[in-house]
Amino acid sequence: MSCWVCCNCCFLSPSPERKLAVTSCGHVICSVCYQKGSHGRCLICSSQCQVSPLSDKSSSDVKALFSDIGVVATRHLTEISKVVAFQARHQKRLLSYYKQKNHKLEDMLATIKQEMQQMGKKLNDQRAYIAKLENSLQHHSLKAPSQTSSSLHTPHGNKSDVPGL
């Protein structure tokens, strides 16, 4: 047993004549001091309690309280290390997936931007062509009414002899 384990009443270490027990209220008491107190009451805090002798037959919860902290820490740190490694591996895999997905989306965005530029150019070309056609139509319609009224009809209301009209 560790050197810090002693009776909370007389502060003596365990020996063949001084067996230790733990109370349900969390105190450690030796068999000599226990005999001095009233049964069912803790000598340290006076609360109602149960007393369980410390032995190889003690419950695992009680034994754990007296375990070597280095052993407990190593066991838990090993377990924590496994959990951290497992989670880190899966987080790394998830990050890799999202990086690949992001790369594909960036490529797709670049392609779409390029297509939009080409379509914008075509749209501008079409607008210019439409403007040219509208201008030509407007120019033609301005000429047509004056030709129609002067060349198709004579001042006397007769049709002129313009070929093709």
- Helix, strand, or coil here: 52? strand
DSSP E strands: which ranges in 6-158?
20-23, 28-30, 51-53
Q: Which CATH architecture has domain 1-67?
A: 2-Layer Sandwich (3.30)
Determine the Cα–Cα distance for residues 44 and 25; give it in Å rounded to an integer.
Answer: 10
Determine the Cα–Cα distance for residues 86 and 103; give it in Å rounded to an integer.
Answer: 26
- What would the pLDDT profile of 85-131 be if each residue is shown by its tens digit? 999 999 999 999 999 999 999 999 999 999 999 999 999 999 999 99
- What tokens appear for 161 in the block? 């002899």
Of 48, 47, 46, 14, nearest in space to 31 by CA: 14
Model confidence pTM above 0.85 = no
Give residue 103's pLDDT.
97
Place of tokens 């951290």: 84
- Give me the residue spans of the domains in the chain: 1-67, 68-155
Place of tokens 């497992």: 86
- What would the pLDDT profile of 38-92 be if each residue is shown by its tens digit? 888 898 999 999 998 888 888 888 888 888 888 889 999 999 999 999 999 999 9
Do 137 and 131 touch, CB atoms closer than 8 A? no
